[in-house]
Amino acid sequence: MEKGAIIKHKIKNATDTGSWRNQTPNLDKKTCIGCGTCVKYCPDACIILKEIKNAGDNKKKIAEIDTKFCKGCGVCAEVCPVKAIDMK
Residue whose CB is less far from another protein, 7 or 55: 7
Shortest CB 8 distance to another protein, Å: 6
- 65 vs 27: CA distance, rounded Å: 8
Residue whose CB is less far from another protein, 18 or 74: 18
Alpha-carbon separation of residue 85 from 15, 19, 24, 25 (angstroms) = 26, 20, 10, 6
Work out the angle at residue 67's Cα, subtended by the Cα atoms of residues 36 and 59, and round it to the nearest 5 degrees: 40
In the region spanning residues 9 to 38, those forming contacts with another protein, defined by CB under 8 A, are 9
Shortest CB 2 distance to another protein, Å: 8
- 32 vs 46: CA distance, rounded Å: 16
Residue whose CB is less far from another protein, 5 or 55: 5
Stretch of 5-13, 15-23, 55-63, 65-73 contacting another protein, by CB under 8 A: 5-13
